[in-house]
Amino acid sequence: MPDPSFVFAQSLSGLTAAMFLFLIASGLSLIFGVLRVLNFAHGTFYMLGAYSAYQIVQWLGPGPGRFWLAALGAALAVAALGGIVEHFLFRHLYDKEELYQLLFTYALVLILSDVAKIFWGTQQKSVSRPPELTGSFALFGATIPHYNLLILLLGPAIALAFWFVLQRTRAGRFIRAAALDRETLGALGVNVDRLYTVVFMLGSFLGGLGGALIAPMRATVPGMDTEVIVEAFVVVVIGGLGSFWGTFLGALIYGQVLSFGILLFPRFSIFAVFALMAAVLIVRPWGLLGRPLR
């Protein structure tokens, strides 16, 4: 059995992966929870977030603080794109069958990934970690890069911010109401169309932010969109589509199962994750913290 410091390091890397995935999956889950649309293009927004961050870093040049500007700018750019997509295209699909919605988001994946290729080509791009956070520190014998710590803290921070907005603000009440009954909310005089656009932009913002923040830890390449969407999908299925805390829980479970799967049965770690998803689907098809669809 490996020594305890190593077990700690392993669970920590699982936690980092979980918090990062939560960032992406929360946007996916939010959009589904309110709009009832499974947005396959969410991974593409994530990819565009990474590319935009790269592009802005190129424009700004290296220097302290630049990366954060780039990350924020990238997330905002992706949010704007999300707004445009929702307002001009998605809007017409809410009354259609789910199959058409899925096909549409899939078409979006193909189109946007080709657009990204036109802009940035096929060569891999790389963003450096911000100079403030290139170091690492040791804790109980485990090496923890500063940047991983940031992701580790950012996950719960965003979760709390979300919880606060949804539970404690007027806009949050509207969003929750829209998820439950769109017509009644509209009848009460709330501009549901605009609310939908805002929610879609918020979800896209989270996807874009996830892509921008992960860029220093990964390569930015064509194809990163479809890789992440599968993982995010597993997370929301385990946790419950549309459930906020479910997504959080799903991400935590995913991260730990994967990490310790790698430790215990290296060749079956992926299998463990999907087996878990299958088990959840059989026992609670609506996910651990989700509620059954009407």
User: Looking at 30, 158, 224, 249, which residue binds other proteins (CB under 8 A)?
Assistant: 224
Instruction: For the chain, give the number of residues.
Output: 294
Size of the site for other proteins (CB under 8 A): 45
Comparing CB distances to other proteins, the nearer of 13 and 247 is: 13
- Residue with smaller CB distance to other proteins, 121 or 156: 121
Question: Is residue 114 a contact residue for other proteins (CB under 8 A)?
Answer: yes
Amino acid 68 reads W
Cα gap 29→22, rounded to integer Å: 10
Q: For residues 192, 248, 26 and 31, what is the CA-based torsion angle, rounded to 10 degrees?
A: -40
DSSP states of the chain as a string?
A: ---HHHHHHHHHHHHHHHHHHHHHHHHHHHHHHHH----TTHHHHHHHHHHHHHHHHHHH-S-TTHHHHHHHHHHHHHHHHHHHHHHHTGGGGTTS-HHHHHHHHHHHHHHHHHHHHHHH-SS-EE-PPPGGG--EEEETTEEEEHHHHHHHHHHHHHHHHHHHHHHHSHHHHHHHHHHH-HHHHHHTT--HHHHHHHHHHHHHHHHHHHHHHHGGGSEE-TTHHHHHHHHHHHHHHHH-TT-HHHHHHHHHHHHHHHHHHHHH-GGGHHHHHHHHHHHHHHH-TT-SS-----
Q: Which stretch binds other proteins (CB under 8 A): 137-145, 181-189, 233-241, 276-284?
A: 137-145
Q: How far apart are CA 274 and CA 146, in angstroms?
A: 31
Under rule CB under 8 A, residue 223 binds other proteins = yes
- Does the protein bind other proteins through residue 123 (CB under 8 A)? yes
Site string for other proteins, 244-273 (x = CB under 8 A): --------------xx--xx--xx-xx---
Judged by CB under 8 A, the stretch of 13-21, 24-32, 80-88, 242-250 that binds other proteins is 13-21
Q: Is 55 in the site for other proteins (CB under 8 A)?
A: no
Quick one: 37 or 71, whose CB is closer to other proteins?
71
233 binds other proteins (CB under 8 A): no
CB of 122 to other proteins, least distance (A): 4
Scanning 23-31, 63-71, 117-125, 188-196 for contacts with other proteins by CB under 8 A, the matching segment is 117-125
Instruction: Compute the least distance from the CB of residue 115 to other proteins, in Å.
Output: 12
Residues 162-181 that bind other proteins (CB under 8 A): none
Which residue in 88, 95, 99, 122 binds other proteins (CB under 8 A)? 122
The verdict on 9 binding other proteins (CB under 8 A) reads yes
Strand partners, 125: 220
Residue selected from 60, 69, 83, 136 as contacting other proteins according to rule CB under 8 A: 136
Contacts with other proteins by CB under 8 A lie at 2-3, 6, 9-10, 13-14, 16-17, 20, 114, 117, 121-126, 128-129, 136, 142-143, 145, 147-148, 216-219, 221-224, 227-228, 231, 258-259, 262-263, 266-267, 269-270
